Amino acid sequence: MSISTTGNGGERPAPPYPKIALEQGEQGSVTLSITVDDAGNISQIELKESSGSTLLDRTALDYVKRHWIIPPTNGARLYESTITFQLRK
């Protein structure tokens, strides 16, 4: 199943753009594999596809693990989420 951010707020806010990555012009998309227990807690999170930037990858992993809330379901679920860090012009 695919799950996405809820933008700037909500239950699954988009991770902040790391300041160093902004300064260095790094951008890319990170795809995460997220295992959620039946209570809605993230029990495991893994990098499925790298953005090519260790900093962006780590930011996405750490932020999602600490800040996302997934609605409870009957039984554990496996989700995939892609987070894009894109510089605005």
Q: What is the pLDDT of residue 6?
A: 86
Is 33 within 8 Å of 40 (Cβ atoms)? no
pLDDT digits (tens, 9 = 90+) for 33-88: 999 998 889 999 999 999 999 999 999 999 999 999 888 888 889 999 999 999 87
How are beta strands 28-36 and 42-49 bridged, if at all? antiparallel
DSSP string, 48-84: EE--S-HHHHHHHHHHHHHH------SS-EEEEEEEE
Domain locations in the chain? 19-85
* pLDDT at residue 45, as a whole number: 96
Which tens digit of pLDDT belongs to each residue from 19-30? 999 999 999 999
pLDDT in tens, 70-83: 888 888 899 999 99
pTM summary value: 0.88
Tokens encoding 56: 């962006």
Architecture (CATH level 2) of domain 19-85: 2-Layer Sandwich (3.30)
